[in-house]
Structure 1
Amino acid sequence: MEKLAIFDVDYTLTKKETQIEFYKYMLKKDKKHILHMPKVILSGILFALNLIPLKSTKEYFISFIEGIREEEMKEHVKDFYENRLSKLLYKDAIETIKRLKMEGYKIYLISASPEFYLNELYNIKEVDKIIGTRYLCENGVHKRSMQGENCKGEEKVKRLMEEIKKEDIEVDFKNSYMFSDSLSDLPLLNIVGNPYLINYKKKHDKIEILEWK
């Protein structure tokens, strides 16, 4: 049986929220992306008022990718990883990944952030699988529309189980690990024998809290 070490990404592996950092990166590359800011602000207000779902909010936020060709996006995400994303990683997170990989664990990263740029984290050679929120890319052109559901909460468990079934492996969840900064990941934290909260500011009676830098 395989043992997994599952990691959330934003504020677990990284010091900052990656989707915001990707938008800031794209804005620096092309100032025209500032035109998307009103949509971002409005969608945030509507979500806070429970007038639109989180999925719609995220699609509004990421509307700056609409129309970017796949070849161009590949260059953007490569540059984003090399010059920004790779510099946001917690040293303790990378050391934990390396240690658990050496102990025979498969390393899975599961995040609500967009999979098309998270895939650059395969540059961490110990990573076996990356699962993120998927967005449509039709005829070689990126769209803001989600493909499927936002990869958050129970959806993370669903996506994980789909990958396990696809790879036709049996998993020893009792001896597997899950690391997250948020209780929104309780569905994943609850299925492993070794759950950990990262840099969590409150006390928790059942889950050990680790401080990563």
Structure 2
Amino acid sequence: MEKLAIFDVDYTLTKKETLRELFKFTIKKKPSKIVYLPRALFSGLMYLVGVYDEKKVKESFLKFIDGIHEKEMELLVKEFYEKRLSKIIYNDAIVMMRKLKSEGYKIYLISASPEFYLKELNNLSIADKIIGTRFFCVDGYHSRRMEGENCKGEEKVRRLKEELKKDNIKVDFKNSYMFSDSLSDKPLFDLVGNAYLINYRKKQDKIQVLKWK
């Protein structure tokens, strides 16, 4: 049986929220995309007041990717990784992933952020699988329309088990690890025998907290 080391991405591997960083990077590359800033701010406000759920707010925020051809997006996210994403990864996260990888653990990154750019984390040459929220690409053009559900909470567990079944991998969950900055990942914490919160500031006694830099 395989042992997994599962890592959330935003604020667990990275110091900042990756989707927001992609938006800012895209605006720098294409200043005309600034037109979508009011929409992004509005969608965030609608989420805060409970009008939009997370799927709706994400689809609204991602209006800036509508119509980008997959070849153009491929170049954009590669440059995003090289110039921004790779710069905001916690060194302690890299050390932990490499340590567990050397001990025979399979490294899985599971995030609610879009999979179309998270796949660039393969450049770290550590992860065995990267799972994120999926969005449609129609006739070669990216769409903000979400494919399936937002990869958060119980959906992370469902997607994980879906991938394990597809790859015919049986897992020793009791001796597996989960790392996240948020208790929204409780379904994954409950699945493994070793759970850790990253840089968590609120008082809680059930899960050990690690401070990463």
Above 0.5 in TM-score?
A: yes
Give the Cα–Cα distance (whole angstroms) in 1 for the partners of residues 49 and 101 of structure 2: 43
Give the Cα–Cα distance (whole angstroms) in 2 for the partners of residues 58 and 122 of structure 1: 24
Q: What secondary structure sits across from 1:60 in the alignment?
A: helix
Q: 1:133 aligns to what?
A: 133
Q: 1:196 aligns to what?
A: 196
Per-residue CA distance 1:42-63 (angstroms, 9 max, x = gap): 2122222222221110011111
Q: Which runs of 5+ in 1 are unaligned?
A: none
Matched, 1:61 2:61: yes
Q: CA deviation at 1:70?
A: 0.4
Paired residues in the alignment total 213
**Matches for 1:168-187 after TM superposition, within 5 Å:** 168-187=168-187
Q: 1:117 aligns to what?
A: 117
Give the Cα–Cα distance (whole angstroms) in 1 for the partners of residues 204 and 46 of structure 2: 32
Q: CA deviation at 1:32?
A: 1.0
Give the Cα–Cα distance (whole angstroms) in 2 for the partners of residues 153 and 144 of structure 1: 21
Q: 1:46 aligns to what?
A: 46
Matched, 1:77 2:77: yes
Query: What is the alpha-carbon root mean square deviation over aligned residues?
Result: 0.7
Give the Cα–Cα distance (whole angstroms) in 2 for the partners of residues 147 and 140 of structure 1: 15
Give the Cα–Cα distance (whole angstroms) in 1 for the partners of residues 42 and 28 of structure 2: 22
Per-residue CA distance 1:57-113 (angstroms, 9 max, x = gap): 001111100000000000000000001100111000000000000000000000000
Q: What secondary structure sits across from 1:127 in the alignment?
A: coil
Give the Cα–Cα distance (whole angstroms) in 2 for the partners of residues 55 and 211 of structure 1: 30
Q: 2:19 aligns to what?
A: 19
Give the Cα–Cα distance (whole angstroms) in 1 for the partners of residues 115 and 166 of structure 2: 18
Q: 1:92 aligns to what?
A: 92
Give the Cα–Cα distance (whole angstroms) in 2 for the partners of residues 112 and 48 of structure 1: 18
Letter in 2 for 1:28: K
Q: 1:33 aligns to what?
A: 33
Q: What secondary structure sits across from 1:96 in the alignment?
A: helix
Letter in 2 for 1:157: V
Q: 1:167 aligns to what?
A: 167
Letter in 1 for 2:46: L
- Tell me which stretches of 4 or more aligned residues in structure 1 moved more than 4 Å: none
Q: CA deviation at 1:132?
A: 0.2
Letter in 2 for 1:31: P
Q: Which runs of 5+ in 2 are unaligned?
A: none
Letter in 2 for 1:56: K
Q: CA deviation at 1:203?
A: 2.6
**Matches for 1:200-211 after TM superposition, within 5 Å:** 200-211=200-211
Q: 2:5 aligns to what?
A: 5
